[in-house]
Structure 1
Amino acid sequence: MFSNAVRVRKSPPKQGWRAAVYALSGGRWNPGLSDAEERLREQLGKIRTPLPGPHSVVVSSIKGGVGKTTVTALLGLALAEYRGDRVIAMDANPDAGTLGDRLVGEEQASKTTVRDLLDNLDQIRSSTQLSGYTHLAGRLQVLTSEQEPELSEMFSADDYEAVLRTLSRYYEALLTDSGTGVVHSAMQGSLRHADSLVIVGAPTQDGASRASRTLQWLATHQDSQGLFPYRQLAQDAVVVLSCDRSSPYVDESVICEHFRARCRAVVELPADPHLSTGGIVDLDALSPAARDAALNLAATVAEGFQGRRTTGLAAHGFRG
């Protein structure tokens, strides 16, 4: 009763001249949040979407060099930084992936890898034991790939599933940086257990066409029973266009509209001096535009944490 009689108080600003005015007035004058602060608040609200159980997000592309690993790193860092649950990013690239290099550095990443974990999976009884095989980048846990080509190539769907089953007991959000071959054994394993899919392309003719082919393959691929197991996954996918490669001769709006008609959302990641170095990714070192894009990506992916479950972890007997 009389709930409508209570005046709504504006949230105090924390940035720019608005925050200065609020502080100098002792809180008596509150100009409210700026548009940027309102946008950030909305993004963080989406990023914190609750999870009903472990959720597998696979980041994929059938073209190398378009920023797939960078996108995985940004997504993992943003989710881990602003969510209250546990987030891990796994490098499942069978070609000596570089996710560990981008998150913890090459030397640290090579100390323990997914192969070490596979060799000792039956000994894992707690998150503390599991942490001996992962690396920490901010609040994000990272499981790096094997760097020896012979051992890396041996990473199969069975290996992936065994690792994922263990990780799903201790983490809520599980990100997979996959390889570039959709028919590779490990990639098939990741797709089989995916709850969400992020496809990375570029606003160029080749970068966009490869991403489109990935979506087309997922939508039309039939299994041995004549079913289309990845059709819903493709429809609910988020496409990221990495704009470090672009051309004034390409109409990016045409490319964006093409993907918006075929998936759930499109996110553009602008070129960024920090990311272009190829070094360790740091959210605080990004340009304002790139940081906003990273948070927008995390918010968009997290919106799919509820109500868009596919045949992922829960359907295959994983914890949930």
Structure 2
Amino acid sequence: MRNLLLEPEILRYPEMRRHTSQSTSRLEILASERDPAISEAFSEGDYRAVHRILDRFYNIILMDCGTGLTHSATRGVLGVADALVVVASPAIDSARSALATLDWLQYHGYAHLVPDASVVLSSARPGAMPINVEQLTQRFQSQVRSIFVVPYDHHLAAGGEITLELLNRKTRGAYMQLAASVADGFRRPTAHPVR
């Protein structure tokens, strides 16, 4: 992302494309820095500048904020977000963390994102879920629009680039439902002006 900001002006798609990699599904990825010191220095203003560039070339922009909710760059992401997906594993500590994230958003100026958010409970281990997922789902339902349970998948557990065809049928189905749910929000007016 930092290299994108160093360009004097990006006016055409081929200039933008030099900064991205592309998966077999044609998803383009603009990677952040691997060096934590450099990525820590990426600010809210930096992200907003990157977003202004991306917004000229892409209809949908997905951003992985990791766990740095209070980081300056994350405020930049949240400031332009139209939809929010919170991911947790079906475990007590992870669920508490996801609920704390929703509470933090509620009380720090991003309350408008919470009622329309989606929560994904993604199992990282094979076998039965360690807690009662139905109870957990009920707990989230009072705050967000939708909850999706993604079963354990060997391909996801391996890490690295995801190839959709290698996902098991149930995993792919859960992600298709999530994508459809997020896309349903495209019809609703945004909380902030069109950029």
Q: Which has the higher contact order (CA 8 A, sep 6+)?
A: 1
Give 1:148's aligned residue: 35
Give 1:270's aligned residue: 151
Give 1:202's aligned residue: 89
Q: Per-residue displacement from partner, 1:145-184 (whole Å, max 9, x unpaired)?
A: 1112322211111110000001101110111111312211
Q: Which amino acid aligns with 2:177?
A: N
Q: Per-residue displacement from partner, 1:181-239 (whole Å, max 9, x unpaired)?
A: 22110011111111111111121100100000111111122xxxxxxx31120111001
Counterparts of residues 49-198 of structure 1 (less than 5 Å): 114-120=1-7, 122-137=8-23, 138-198=25-85
Report how far residue 248 of structure 1 moved.
5.3
TM-score (norm 1): 0.58
Give 1:285's aligned residue: 166
How far apart in 2 are the matches of 1:157 and 1:248?
37
The reply to whether residue 309 of structure 1 matches residue 190 of structure 2 is yes
Contact 1:197 1:238 in 2 (8 A): yes
How large is the Cα RMSD of the aligned pairs?
Answer: 1.5
TM-score (norm 2): 0.93
Q: Secondary structure at the match of 1:278?
A: coil
How far apart in 1 are the matches of 2:61 and 2:70?
21
Report how far residue 290 of structure 1 moved.
0.7
Q: 1:287 to 1:182 in 2, by over 3 A?
A: same
Give 2:121's aligned residue: 241
How far apart in 2 are the matches of 1:115 and 1:217?
28
Report how far residue 139 of structure 1 moved.
1.3
The reply to whether residue 250 of structure 1 matches residue 136 of structure 2 is no
The aligned length equals 193
How far apart in 1 are the matches of 2:38 and 2:113?
30
Which consecutive unaligned segments of at least 5 residues does structure 2 have? none
Give 2:101's aligned residue: 214
Q: Secondary structure at the match of 1:200?
A: strand
Q: Per-residue displacement from partner, 1:248-271 (whole Å, max 9, x unpaired)?
A: 552111101111111010011110
Contact 1:155 1:186 in 2 (8 A): yes
**Identical columns (%):** 39
Q: 1:261 aligns with which of 122, 130, 142?
A: 142
Larger Rg: 1
